[in-house]
Structure 1
Amino acid sequence: MRWWAGLDRVVVLLCVTEVASWGILYYSLPASVEEITTDTGWSGLAVTGCFSAGLILSAAAGILVGRFLDRWGPRYVMTAGSALAVVGLVLVAAATTVPAFLAAWLVIGVAQAAVLYQPAFTVITRHYGAARDKPMLILTLAGGLASTIFVPITLALLAVLDWRATYLVLAGLLAAVTIPLHLMLPGARHSLARTPATADRTAHSRVITSRRFVLLVGGITAIAFSSYAVTLNLLPLVTERGYSVAVAALAFALVGVGQVVGRIGLTILTRSVSARYRPLVVGLFIAATVGLFAVVPGPVWMIAVVSTLAGAARGALTLVQATAVPSRWGTERLGVLNGAFAAPITALTAFAPVAGVAVATGFGSYAVAAAAFAGLAVVGAACVYLADRHEPWPVEEPTDVRQPARIVD
């Protein structure tokens, strides 16, 4: 067997491409928004609104990308996504009006659907089956480094170049890193990468419209929305308590640290908690940590602890989202099912920061808003519990499976 026929190669390739893709296509904009607004005179709301619009389009495009992934495999879909992302970044650099800037981020949004976590999760799941927990953990831990690596890179580029030249450099870097590595991924002729010809082509529609799927998607969307609405507004929440911006920034940074802890913790938890109950456990954990922001005014060390716990809950949720579909419906039609599952989650979390501000403004307090979002997370946890209640649990691949099926190029 050739050296590139094993899963280890696929995991390494995806780790590298996810770090580059997340770092450049997601975290570069928050790092450069001040430079963009200063140079162009556009408002910060307009610039971030274009970015959010791209995220929302990526949610819708994810469903179609999932179909392509089922049919053609990750090599061609993710490579095409990388190429389109490069085009989008060049358009960002060339944009001279807000509509042109918006169009550029809409192009990037389509590309994000083909290169970020959802297609990567599909590839990992098909290779490892029920033994996917460890490679999923490795992938998400690597992805968690994206902001740590690329925010400083973006800021360093902005220190010596203007923002337009910075985006051209980032476009070249993305092309050099992700296009050749995505071309090394398996093609469509992987025994687990395609839907059998005899499969019912309408089966995925029955799944997507089923009570179980709707409740599961609705529940996890509510949970994720609540988590992001509060944690992405930690700076005003903490400063509202009378603390300095430095303390608020520390709390926000600890959310990122906590995500790593949460992903490792959930992987350990899988040994004792079945996939049926993981969304419920994580949903209640998120509700509790979000609620703590409402009732813990200090001291600083307590805010630090709560921030770390909230990050851990959010990190665990990433893995729950990654495994929710295959653990219930298997790996056939996984691309399209994952795309449909992720679409509302991605779309609404793009609105979460704005929603957090709006709710806090309405209540006159970020702490009260956190309590409201904690209640929404409890509702989400109830939905995921009801989704699986009385439903037969599928028997997955044996958990001692350690190697993927042989890749045929």
Structure 2
Amino acid sequence: MQDRPRGGLTALCIAQTTSWGLLYYSLPVAVPPIADDTGWSHTAITAALTFGLIVSAIAGLRVGKLLNVSGPRRLMTVGSLIGVVALLMVAWSPNLVWFYIAWLIAGLAQSAVLYPPAFAVITRWYGPQRIRPLTTLTLVAGFASTIFAPIVAYLIDQFGWRVSYAIMAVMLGVVTVPLHIFFLNGRWTDSVTSSTSASQVGNKHAVRAVTRSPRFVVLAVVMAVAAFALFAVTINIVPLLLERGLPYSTAAVALGLVGAGQVIGRLGYAPLSRKTSPSQRMMLIYGVGAISLVAVAVVPEPAWLLISLAVLAGAARGCHTLLQATAAADRWGTTNFAQINATLSAPMTALGALAPVSGPALATVFGSYTAMALLMAGLLAVAALAASRT
């Protein structure tokens, strides 16, 4: 367990909330005005974020290696600066090609400043006591959309989307760069140094022994499938509930309450972790998630019951965030955690990026959002059964 800079957790919470708000949630808010100004389709604009997240998943593998060896200060500071450049490029982009390039660069920044590296830092700081600070981090950062969506909307309404993204670039730099510089470790005191080549080789072999083991492969596949299934349904809960007969305003409320469900799930994760083994709580969370998805798809009105079931699905998704933060350390300890967790997170990030657009696509293929939700419930049930092998 590393020495923790005073105020480190608070700094990480602020930096994570800001980074999520500007490098992730800003685009969904900005899609309509960007489309109105440029004539680009909503799908084309949204896909830029998807491709950026795929880049983030791939780059995250290298980020995990660097973080494991050199510590977080330089890496996450550079990540913030890349994010500033990316947002400035978004503001400048004269056509859709450059807009995509900007978000691909934003994906590089995301890999260095969003949850996976922050989870690694907290795991190194707190060791066996990591659950509470991880919960705190995800609870605070969970309000990123609540805080920044209205800020982004206000900026765009006042200045237009291009000037607003330039302002957001300044905001990201002013807030996150100092926090990363002054509140993160320059190097890990017990990390492998570049001068110890033999130790580096041993470290590399130890990581490979874990990440190529059958148990790790099963865990990575199970968690990626579960993340995809939960996200595909919860992010598309509005059209699903419209099919179930709810009015638009009520379905929109349900979407907001799914976010509240995620907070509830994260609050309940700590007591659950004390009473269950890693595989038991994974099976329980995925099992509850599968049941909630089936119920949302087949249980008839009243509206309050459907909304309650959607909140339950949100709680399962909230718990999954903390599963992502703890699954590797629970099974293989905290040695080499950053690199192992980056490898574990990569497929989750990639499939999670595809989930928002896959939901409507699958609904089209299978004839309805209800059928899509039942399919996702089936995938989640399989993941719950497979969790016993992790």
Q: Normalised by the shorter chain, which TM-score bucket?
A: over 0.9
Equivalent residue for 2:111? 113
| In structure 1, C-alpha distance between the alignment counterparts of 2:203 and 2:173, rounded to whole Å | 38
Equivalent residue for 1:207? 210
Among 289, 293, 302, which residue is 2:292 paired with? 289
Is the Cα–Cα contact under 8 Å of residues 56 and 109 in structure 1 kept in the other structure?
yes
Is the Cα–Cα contact under 8 Å of residues 188 and 194 in structure 1 kept in the other structure?
no
| In structure 2, C-alpha distance between the alignment counterparts of 1:186 and 1:193, rounded to whole Å | 15
Among 313, 324, 327, which residue is 1:324 paired with? 327
Residues 98 and 276 (structure 1), Cα distance of their counterparts in 2 relative to 1, 3 Å cut: same
Secondary structure of 2:204's match?
Answer: coil
Secondary structure of 1:270's match?
Answer: helix
Equivalent residue for 1:74? 72
Equivalent residue for 2:100? 102
| In structure 2, C-alpha distance between the alignment counterparts of 1:85 and 1:189, rounded to whole Å | 22
Equivalent residue for 1:348? 351
> Over residues 381-408 of structure 1, what are the superposed CA-to-partner deviations in whole Å (9 max), with x where a residue is unaligned?
2222112xxxxxxxxxxxxxxxxxxxxx
Aligned-partner residue type, residue 67 of structure 2: L
1:242 Cα offset (Å): 2.2
Secondary structure of 1:114's match?
Answer: helix
Ranges of 4+ aligned residues in structure 1 off by more than 4 Å: 192-197
Equivalent residue for 2:242? 239
Aligned-partner residue type, residue 301 of structure 1: W
1:287 Cα offset (Å): 1.1
| In structure 2, C-alpha distance between the alignment counterparts of 1:222 and 1:6, rounded to whole Å | 35
| In structure 2, C-alpha distance between the alignment counterparts of 1:266 and 1:83, rounded to whole Å | 34
Is the Cα–Cα contact under 8 Å of residues 195 and 332 in structure 1 kept in the other structure?
no
Secondary structure of 2:278's match?
Answer: coil
Equivalent residue for 1:371? 374
Among 33, 36, 52, which residue is 1:35 paired with? 33
| In structure 2, C-alpha distance between the alignment counterparts of 1:239 and 1:155, rounded to whole Å | 26
Structure 2 unaligned residues grouped into runs of 5+: none
**Does the alignment pair 1:217 with 2:233?**
no
| In structure 2, C-alpha distance between the alignment counterparts of 1:109 and 1:300, rounded to whole Å | 38
Is the Cα–Cα contact under 8 Å of residues 52 and 107 in structure 2 kept in the other structure?
yes
**Does the alignment pair 1:162 with 2:165?**
no
Count residues with an aligned counterpart. 384
1:206 Cα offset (Å): 2.1
Residues 96 and 217 (structure 1), Cα distance of their counterparts in 2 relative to 1, 3 Å cut: same
1:200 Cα offset (Å): 3.5
Equivalent residue for 1:12? 10
| In structure 2, C-alpha distance between the alignment counterparts of 1:261 and 1:112, rounded to whole Å | 26
Equivalent residue for 2:363? 360
| In structure 1, C-alpha distance between the alignment counterparts of 2:169 and 2:356, rounded to whole Å | 27
> Over residues 334-372 of structure 1, what are the superposed CA-to-partner deviations in whole Å (9 max), with x where a residue is unaligned?
121111101110001111122211221122121121111
Aligned-partner residue type, residue 356 of structure 1: G
1:18 Cα offset (Å): 0.4
Equivalent residue for 1:256? 259
Is the Cα–Cα contact under 8 Å of residues 28 and 150 in structure 1 kept in the other structure?
yes
Secondary structure of 1:271's match?
Answer: helix
1:7 Cα offset (Å): 5.6
Equivalent residue for 1:63? 61
Within a 5 Å distance, the mapping from 1:120-139 to structure 2 comes to 120-139=118-137
Residues 14 and 356 (structure 1), Cα distance of their counterparts in 2 relative to 1, 3 Å cut: same
1:280 Cα offset (Å): 1.6
Is the Cα–Cα contact under 8 Å of residues 195 and 333 in structure 1 kept in the other structure?
no
Secondary structure of 2:346's match?
Answer: helix
Residues 192 and 313 (structure 1), Cα distance of their counterparts in 2 relative to 1, 3 Å cut: farther
Aligned-partner residue type, residue 170 of structure 2: G
Is the Cα–Cα contact under 8 Å of residues 218 and 383 in structure 1 kept in the other structure?
no
| In structure 2, C-alpha distance between the alignment counterparts of 1:384 and 1:194, rounded to whole Å | 33
Is the Cα–Cα contact under 8 Å of residues 86 and 106 in structure 2 kept in the other structure?
yes
Equivalent residue for 1:23? 21
Residues 195 and 299 (structure 1), Cα distance of their counterparts in 2 relative to 1, 3 Å cut: farther
> Over residues 54-76 of structure 1, what are the superposed CA-to-partner deviations in whole Å (9 max), with x where a residue is unaligned?
00110000000111101211101
Among 148, 151, 154, which residue is 2:149 paired with? 151
Is the Cα–Cα contact under 8 Å of residues 9 and 137 in structure 2 kept in the other structure?
yes
Is the Cα–Cα contact under 8 Å of residues 279 and 387 in structure 2 kept in the other structure?
no
1:149 Cα offset (Å): 0.3
Structure 1 unaligned residues grouped into runs of 5+: 388-409
Equivalent residue for 1:401? none
Give the percent of matched residue pairs that are identical in Structure 1 and Structure 2. 44
> Over residues 274-312 of structure 1, what are the superposed CA-to-partner deviations in whole Å (9 max), with x where a residue is unaligned?
234222221112111111111123211001211111111
Among 84, 87, 100, which residue is 2:85 paired with? 87
Equivalent residue for 1:171? 169
1:272 Cα offset (Å): 1.1
| In structure 1, C-alpha distance between the alignment counterparts of 2:193 and 2:332, rounded to whole Å | 13
Q: Indicate the RMSD between aligned Cα atoms, in angstroms.
A: 1.6
| In structure 1, C-alpha distance between the alignment counterparts of 2:167 and 2:248, rounded to whole Å | 32
| In structure 1, C-alpha distance between the alignment counterparts of 2:4 and 2:217, rounded to whole Å | 36
| In structure 2, C-alpha distance between the alignment counterparts of 1:52 and 1:137, rounded to whole Å | 26
Among 286, 311, 316, which residue is 1:313 paired with? 316
